[in-house]
């Protein structure tokens, strides 16, 4: 019997243990410097603090530097968001975390490459 229960659990045929949360897409397209959106587009500085509203976003603090990897193409009734990672010694615990943030809260300090590739979001 134990093996049957274990098999059913592995196959997911019993009651689901965790249910997912479905979130609306922020945009259908994004602008990147390359086809995989891994190259840094620019370096931005946060002009205000921002507390992430859900797991897709990152917290940023005023004065913090952020590497920008993609820029979502603004759609009707949506905000304009960029994707990036926090940089800086003072916030080491957030380094390497990539997420979205409102572009209106940052100022670009340096552009490394033009974001001229339009990529569909998934």
Q: What is the CATH number of the domain that holds 44?
A: 2.30.30.40
The answer to whether residue 9 sits within a structural domain is no
Q: Does the pLDDT of residue 114 top 50, yes or no? A: yes
Cβ(77)–Cβ(24) under 8 Å?
no
Q: Does residue 15 fall inside a structural domain? A: no
- d(Cα 24, Cα 88) in Å, to the nearest integer? 31
What pTM was estimated for this model as a whole? 0.73
Q: Write down the pLDDT at residue 13.
A: 44
* Surface-to-core class of residue 59, CB atoms within 10 Å of its CB (0-12 exposed, 13-18 middle, 19+ buried): middle
In a domain, 19, yes or no: no
Instruction: Answer whether residue 3 is part of any domain.
Output: no
pLDDT tens for residues 19-34? 555 567 788 899 999 9
Q: Which residues contact 53 (CB under 8 A, 6 or more apart)?
A: none
Residues spanned by the domain of 37 = 25-120
Contact indicator for 47, 74 with CB cutoff of 8 Å: no
Residue 111 or residue 25, greater confidence: 111
What local confidence, expressed as pLDDT, does residue 109 receive?
96
pLDDT tens digit string along 83-97? 999 875 554 555 567
């Amino acid at each position: 019997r134990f093996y049957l229960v274990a098999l059913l659990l592995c196959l997911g045929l019993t009651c689901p243990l965790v249910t997912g949360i479905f979130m609306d897409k922020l945009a259908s397209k994004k602008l990147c410097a390359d086809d995989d959106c891994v190259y840094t587009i620019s370096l931005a500085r946060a002009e205000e603090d921002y507390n992430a509203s859900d797991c897709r976003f990152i917290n940023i603090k005023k004065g913090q530097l952020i590497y920008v990897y993609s820029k979502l193409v603004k759609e009707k009734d949506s905000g304009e968001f960029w994707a990036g990672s926090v940089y800086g010694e003072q916030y080491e615990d957030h380094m390497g975390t990539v997420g979205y943030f409102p572009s209106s809260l940052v100022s670009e300090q340096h552009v490394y490459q033009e974001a001229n590739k339009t990529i569909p979001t998934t």
